[in-house]
A and B are shown apart, each in its own frame.
Chain A
Amino acid sequence: MKVRVLVCLKNGVLDPQGQTVRHALHVLGYQQVKDVRQGKVFEIELEGVDKDMAFKLIPEIADKVLANPIIETFSWEILE
Chain B
Amino acid sequence: MFTSLDLLVVVSMGIIAATFLSLMLMFLLKNQKAKRVFFYIVVALGVYVSTIGFRIGITGFIEQVVLAVLAALMSVGAFVLERAAGGDGKKLRIARIIAAAALVLGIISALFI
Q: Do A and B bind each other?
A: no
Identify the B interface with A (CB < 8 A): none
Q: Which residues of A contact B (CB under 8 A)?
A: none
